[in-house]
Structure 1
Amino acid sequence: MGFPAGGDGTDPRAGGSEAPTLIVRGGRGPLPPQGGPLEGMPPAWAAEQWDDAYRRVRLAGRAYVWLNLVEQRMRALVDEVLRPVYAPAHGEEWVTAAAGPAGEEWVHRAAAVREVSRRKGYLLDPVDDEPLVFLTLPQLRELMVQHWPCFEPHLVDRREIELALDELEVARHVVSRNRALTRTVLDQTERAAARVLALLDGTHGGVPADVVEELVAGRYADVVAVHPDRVRLQRDLPVEDLLDGARRLDAVGIGLGMLCQNYTGKRLVRLAGDGCRIRLLFLNPASSAVRRRERELGIGRGELGRAVEMNIMHVRRVRARLRDQGSFEIRVFDDLPRFTAYLVEGPRTTGAGGRRRSTDLGVVQPYLRRARGIESPALVLRGGAGQESGGTEPGLLEVYREEFEDLWGDSRPVS
């Protein structure tokens, strides 16, 4: 709080021509005099305010990218489905005709915005000089709902699409008005947007590609996520999601606990029965490397070896239930283990615009001297993500595949 210097209670305007000197109390900086702000001293943010602003930008920026992609995909789908129906009879006014009496008002409003954009030079790309470009996501959705019989042959489930679009509305309102977005709403937005994009392309299942990851993955050699430990990894990427649709699984580690303890034998039998070729590489429980690892972790002699033996017995029982046991290989190696890795090959899928996308995934954890596998940091790799932007260097997924092949060549089969 500021007071005139002197403190005698007199009106400072009564005598002298100098402006009053302010005595400031508190940590918010000097207060301006009653006449206006201090000259040459713009209001400044404290460090905490900058940190909060950066946090809001990060959250809102991710949400905006997802919402932008969903809106582009919806607009393209509406254009592909409805233009051939209405354009032959109505020409450039086909959007107005498709909207009908119920949507006439918001189509005219979009046309007015388009005209203003034309006059002010906001249309930087001639492709954007289309009435459809100026419709919002709810209006595009309304066109889809009104003409569902036209969309039904191309889409899987109208109710699921509408529910996912409902979830996006909260984030859309928050981002468009630059209000604070919570982490919970952002997570909901990303899940809903990924689901909408998959449904609009008529696909299901698998781990959805993070749109932000696809924009920047080339900088990080196909590393698309980093988790401080396996617990948080499995919260975001459960084993069943990692292995969904897998055509090949190569796994190497001391005991492969993430697979043997978090993926049931029945699921593993079903995965192999569906045509997935599996190669599992364990550390030899009788090797000296096991005893050295036990000393590093400070556990009793033989404890780790017995745990590895139990996991090997578990996968042997799974293999025994398969008709084609040659597609399920189990081996052991004797080298000092440096990492555990689950390398999954999936089918090549076609995304928007006919773009081929790899669904290959990998989870890699380095072994730390004093930390168990469940406590070690985990990297999630997506095949080809590092080459999306034209890079030629192989990503980390290929590096670890080469390491796996080297270890596999020096290993011994388990009967």
Structure 2
Amino acid sequence: MTDEAILLKVLLRQRHLQGHRAFCKEYDKVAAKIDPELRGGHPSKAQFYRWLSGDLVGLPYADHCRILESMFPEWSAEQLFKPYNNRLDFVPESGTSPQVRPQRAESVASAETGKVADIVAAYASRSDFMHDMPPRQLFDDANKLRLVGLSLNILCQHYPDRALKKLLESGCTVDCLFLDPDGEYIARRECEESQTDGHLSTLTKLNIDALRRIRAKLSPEAAENLRIRTYDEPVRFNITVVDDSKCVVQPYLPDARGVESPTLVLERSGDTGLFDTFAQVFNSMWNRAKEVSP
């Protein structure tokens, strides 16, 4: 196995397609455009992870190469399976694909070598992050979600109720930790953001009530999968943890709305990175929070 990440692995991580299930969905989507008969011909799970390990001798079958070159039109199949050494020497001078940004690739490669402690992407604002990674992409295949922040709009306002109900009925557990809408610190945050009195409090109550309505429509087993709590402490981070593998972190800045703050995407690469740090922040806050009754 090579000590360096191959380019394909770096590019898939940029698009958050490094999981076998997510990759196969994208594979079938591309295959349908090239030749409908190729749909369903994606690699097995073991084969896919051999691709990413750099363990292949030669290249995959021709049909696989066709799909991969359509997914990443700026690179040949041969280039996709070469080691990536922190540079994109073979990027065509005409420019890169709009979906692939060399700056992001450098961040991912640095994470591979432990230089940026689990960080795989950074965005100037939450809106930039959500444009690149919409909630459906982040949540649809999840088995466990943990969220803490102020009003949790990413789940309550930007993720469809029907999709959330389907997720919960499928067995996904969702833990939501809101800033207490009747507490001291939400009033302080309204002052920091120069909001009118009660603005954030009202929004948070609406979001909590929306989740309670969803919970009331679930089967008894699925209803237990949705837990809602509140905390009354200084609001420091918006944290979303997905499946003990991915974490989205955003600080709350003074004199700025949450949507305007920078956003980091972390993927767990070991036991000493930032993923575990922020997952522990959530767990600690959750354990001392107050449960919201049905």
Asked if the contact 1:167/1:188 (under 8 Å) is kept, the reply is: no
Asked if the contact 1:224/1:382 (under 8 Å) is kept, the reply is: yes
Does the alignment pair 1:326 with 2:221? no
Partner of 1:394: 272
Pairs within 5 Å for 1:123-202 = 144-145=61-62, 158=63, 162-166=66-70, 168=72, 170-172=74-76, 179-183=92-96, 185=97, 187=99
Matched letter for residue 108 of structure 2: E
Partner of 1:365: 250
1:369 shift after superposition: 0.9
Distance 1:266 1:228, change over 3 A: same
Pairs within 5 Å for 1:10-409 = 65-66=7-8, 144-145=61-62, 158=63, 162-166=66-70, 168=72, 170-172=74-76, 179-183=92-96, 185=97, 187=99, 213=108, 216-217=111-112, 218-323=114-219, 324=221, 325-345=223-243, 360-384=245-269, 387=270, 394-409=272-287
Distance 1:286 1:66, change over 3 A: same
SS for the counterpart of 2:185 is helix
SS for the counterpart of 1:233 is helix
1:165 shift after superposition: 2.1
Partners in 1 of 2:89 and 2:225 — Cα distance?
52
Partners in 2 of 1:178 and 1:268 — Cα distance?
40
Distance 1:412 1:68, change over 3 A: closer
Asked if the contact 2:111/2:119 (under 8 Å) is kept, the reply is: no
Matched letter for residue 240 of structure 2: Y
Structure with higher RCO (Cα < 8 A, 6+ apart): 2
Distance 1:328 1:212, change over 3 A: same
Partners in 1 of 2:282 and 2:273 — Cα distance?
15
Q: With the length of structure 2 as denominator, give the TM-score of the two structures.
A: 0.69
Runs (4+) of structure 1 moved beyond 6 Å? Answer: 67-70, 173-178
SS for the counterpart of 2:247 is strand
Q: Which structure 1 segments of 5+ residues have no match?
A: 1-63, 71-131, 134-139, 146-157, 191-209, 347-359, 388-392
Partner of 1:193: none
Asked if the contact 2:107/2:119 (under 8 Å) is kept, the reply is: no
Which shows bigger deviation, 240-249 or 162-171? 162-171
Asked if the contact 1:294/1:301 (under 8 Å) is kept, the reply is: yes
Cα RMSD of the aligned pairs, angstroms, is 3.2
Partners in 2 of 1:341 and 1:177 — Cα distance?
37
Asked if the contact 1:340/1:366 (under 8 Å) is kept, the reply is: yes
More helix by share: 1
Q: Residues 170-229 of structure 1: CA distance to partner in whole angstroms, max 9, x if unpaired?
A: 43499897741413x263699xxxxxxxxxxxxxxxxxxx79725633111101111010
Partners in 2 of 1:177 and 1:283 — Cα distance?
48
Partners in 2 of 1:232 and 1:259 — Cα distance?
17
Partner of 1:110: none
Partners in 2 of 1:264 and 1:378 — Cα distance?
22
Matched letter for residue 268 of structure 2: G
Partners in 2 of 1:250 and 1:266 — Cα distance?
19
Partners in 2 of 1:67 and 1:383 — Cα distance?
15
Asked if the contact 2:240/2:248 (under 8 Å) is kept, the reply is: yes
Q: Which structure 2 segments of 5+ residues have no match?
A: 1-5, 13-56, 80-87
Distance 1:266 1:378, change over 3 A: same
1:247 shift after superposition: 1.3
Distance 1:261 1:394, change over 3 A: same
Partners in 2 of 1:234 and 1:313 — Cα distance?
24
